[in-house]
Structure 1
Amino acid sequence: MIRRTPLALSVLLALGLTGTAQAAGTLNFANWSDYYPPELLKKFEADTGIKATLDAYDSNETLLAKLKAGGGNYDVIVPSDSFIQIMVQEDLLQKFDKSQLPNLKNLAPTFQSLDFDPGHDYTVPYLWGTTGYSYDAKAVPGGVVEESWKAFFEPPAELKGKVVALNSADDLYPPAARYLGIDVCTENPQDAKKIQELLLKQKDMLAMYNSDGTIERMAAGEVAMHQQWNGAFHRAKEQRDSLVYVYPKEGISAFIDNFAIPKGASNVKEAHVFINWMMQPENIAAASNFAKYNNAIAGAEQFMDKALFEDPAINTPKDKLDRLRPFQLCSPKALKLRSTVWTKLKK
């Protein structure tokens, strides 16, 4: 039997989704690879009568390109905080009808107003985490590395070809800037040149740039070090206990991935039903338990796996909290410099 809270039941009644009088319709959902439990989508179908499909992409850049090209035919997408205002400015997202999202009141206080979308006009949080890096204690010289970006950006010679970086400027450029003591939103071409030089030097040491397969690569011991999201690290460590997650002293990016409805969505009503349904504590908790990331819904913790709270990579230790760096929206000039560096790096 599917468990429903009184709140969830009242919402379903209001929408006419209980019993045999289920809603007709379809939902085309797109999310990051391996970031949503298939069985939860089945539960959504059972609860609502809406037939859902799930497509995957590997980066915000890939999603943005699809939306700009008019492809995908998606009803709900999951862009990161760093891409929300870009998508809004390019008129790629549509505003919510908040009357169809009564569960917005379930957002925890910390997430009720966010800089990139203060009124939740276009987005609501899905999962959040950090982007650091991990290493295999059995594969690095001496078995331990300093809590710094140094080992990642300037790895020892023994690790050549055994280090992987994420394949996104927004994941790689900010930590490089922080390591060098440069503002991540610098508008100074000389600063950007220093970041570019560091990344070009690092490139010679890397096995690849890849945002897919981070869990499998580290769990199998294919590489010794990997820039990685904390939830992916948790899943890899479950398979290989010699892995260590690093909170660099120079700062580590905290990210929030978000539900949004793209302009031109075919099934807007169904999109609202899905997003509202995902703001029920037991539903978002199921996503957290699968992907191993925290969420923004008050009350979800009672449905979440205890192991998530015991892993310091997920439950940031108090003495590391001051190392977290929330998303910072940069000026067009700063973003152009970042894009130029990335283009030269990937030639």
Structure 2
Amino acid sequence: MTRKWMTTTAIAAISVLGLAGAASAAGELNIYNWGDYTSPELIKKFEEQFGVKVTVTDYDSNDTALAKVRAGGHGFDIVMPSANYMPIWINEGLLLEARPDQMENFKHVDERWTNVDWDPGRRYSVPWQWGVTGIGVNTKFYKGDLNTSAIFLDPPEELVGKINVTPEMNDVLFATIKYFGGSWCTTDKEVLVKVRDKLVEAKSKWLAMDYSVTDKLPTGDYAGVYYWNGAIMRSRIQNPDVKFGYPKEGFPIFMDSAVILKDAKNPDNAKAFLNFIMAPENAALISNFAKYANGIKGSEQFMDPAMKDAPELVIPAEFEKAGEFLLTCEPAVQELYTKIWTEVQK
């Protein structure tokens, strides 16, 4: 139900938005985000503070989100692309240059994330969450080495037919290229043939490629996964038999950011939301739900203490050099990778 009134709290909150633009006193906000990635508590707080009805729609991959928005007629205001896809969204003119760098709460963004390669100066985006893609195993089924991509590329017998792999193309190709000693964005034909053949072979030993990990890894429906660290931490909280591993051959580091679509129907509400999530206490709500780091200074004091030393969030020194930020490849390379991925999906 749309509210047509404004509380004193909402008025006070809007007054601090400054150059972010005046937020609507009522109306709607439509968010398009990764599945199981949006804190209900955060959404409820925003709705109550601004008198805005928020609808969240899920997607399962960067390609799904990009295709949906490209097609038009989507009705979304905000989407959460990963860093390696941000240049595509910007270059295709799909985003509103909302200037979050001029918003009141931008002062809380950690310096590491204020001037990033994929959005110099943060003219379009604000940090949502960041983390790594790694290995999760229910040790009831397997007690061997977790720190290797062999878990899903050459799975041990105990895990065959019980593995879930993220349906995100670049994460999977990154790990597989590294598994064969290649570099991200490589065009080395010998390496890429190995990557294609291995993934086609390995897929026959997987059970699924979806994002229902937090439901199925703790229960044993999945015995092993190649997936994102926050979801695996959430699985461990439910079942301590779940353990996390950092692939020693190489693993991707990602950041997802909140952006406003160029054709958003509710741009003022969307700007208010971007400013809202840069407040430390609100960024903490995002992290406390999904269990990823968020990129906002001061949010730590509001976060679940268990996250501070969580093995899924603190990369051991021995694996730090194996992690690499997942950046955008040249269009020709991306097209080549898409062809490989299409073959894997058959």
Residues 27-176 of structure 1 aligned to structure 2 (within 5 Å): 27-98=29-100, 101-140=103-142, 143-176=143-176
Cα distance in 2 for residues equivalent to 1:135 and 1:15: 44
Cα distance in 2 for residues equivalent to 1:85 and 1:22: 29
Whether the 8 Å contact between 1:85 and 1:116 is mirrored in structure 2 is yes
Which residue number corresponds to residue 312 of structure 2?
313
TM-aligned CA deviation for residue 259 of structure 1:
0.3
> CA 1:146–1:222 in 2, change beyond 3 Å: closer, same or farther?
closer
> CA 1:98–1:224 in 2, change beyond 3 Å: closer, same or farther?
closer
SS class of match (2:187): coil
SS class of match (2:238): coil
TM-aligned CA deviation for residue 10 of structure 1:
6.8
Cα distance in 2 for residues equivalent to 1:198 and 1:99: 44
What are the superposed Cα offsets for residues 233-275 of structure 1, whole Å, 9 maximum, x if unpaired?
0110111111111111112111101100112111111111110
> After alignment, is 195-204 or 316-325 more displaced?
316-325
> Structure 2 regions of 5+ residues with no counterpart?
1-9
Aligned AA (1:325): E
> CA 1:154–1:74 in 2, change beyond 3 Å: closer, same or farther?
same
Cα distance in 1 for residues equivalent to 2:310 and 2:29: 34
Aligned AA (2:189): P
> CA 1:179–1:9 in 2, change beyond 3 Å: closer, same or farther?
farther
Whether the 8 Å contact between 1:187 and 1:333 is mirrored in structure 2 is no
Residues 194-205 of structure 1 aligned to structure 2 (within 5 Å): 194-205=194-205
TM-aligned CA deviation for residue 9 of structure 1:
9.3
Which residue number corresponds to residue 184 of structure 1?
184
Q: Give the fraction of aligned pairs with identical amino acids, expressed as a percent.
A: 36
Whether the 8 Å contact between 2:100 and 2:125 is mirrored in structure 1 is no
Whether the 8 Å contact between 1:192 and 1:337 is mirrored in structure 2 is no
Which residue number corresponds to residue 331 of structure 1?
330
Whether the 8 Å contact between 1:215 and 1:236 is mirrored in structure 2 is yes
| RMSD across aligned positions (CA) | 2.0
Whether the 8 Å contact between 1:40 and 1:286 is mirrored in structure 2 is yes
Which residue number corresponds to residue 276 of structure 1?
275
> CA 1:135–1:268 in 2, change beyond 3 Å: closer, same or farther?
same
SS class of match (1:245): strand
Which residue number corresponds to residue 254 of structure 1?
253
1:25 aligns with 2:24: no
> CA 1:22–1:345 in 2, change beyond 3 Å: closer, same or farther?
closer
Whether the 8 Å contact between 2:130 and 2:254 is mirrored in structure 1 is yes
Whether the 8 Å contact between 1:81 and 1:327 is mirrored in structure 2 is yes
Aligned AA (1:116): W
Whether the 8 Å contact between 1:149 and 1:248 is mirrored in structure 2 is yes
> CA 1:138–1:213 in 2, change beyond 3 Å: closer, same or farther?
same
Residues 230-269 of structure 1 aligned to structure 2 (within 5 Å): 230-269=229-268
SS class of match (1:294): coil
> CA 1:158–1:41 in 2, change beyond 3 Å: closer, same or farther?
closer
Whether the 8 Å contact between 1:29 and 1:54 is mirrored in structure 2 is yes
- TM value normalised by structure 2: 0.91
Which residue number corresponds to residue 303 of structure 2?
304
> After alignment, is 337-346 or 30-39 more displaced?
30-39
Cα distance in 2 for residues equivalent to 1:233 and 1:98: 31
TM-aligned CA deviation for residue 175 of structure 1:
0.2
> Structure 1 regions of 5+ residues with no counterpart?
1-7
Cα distance in 2 for residues equivalent to 1:217 and 1:239: 11
Which residue number corresponds to residue 213 of structure 1?
212
Aligned AA (2:272): V
Which residue number corresponds to residue 226 of structure 2?
227
> After alignment, is 61-70 or 31-40 more displaced?
31-40
Whether the 8 Å contact between 1:57 and 1:63 is mirrored in structure 2 is yes
Whether the 8 Å contact between 1:164 and 1:225 is mirrored in structure 2 is yes
TM-aligned CA deviation for residue 294 of structure 1:
0.8
Cα distance in 2 for residues equivalent to 1:22 and 1:111: 28
Aligned residues: 333
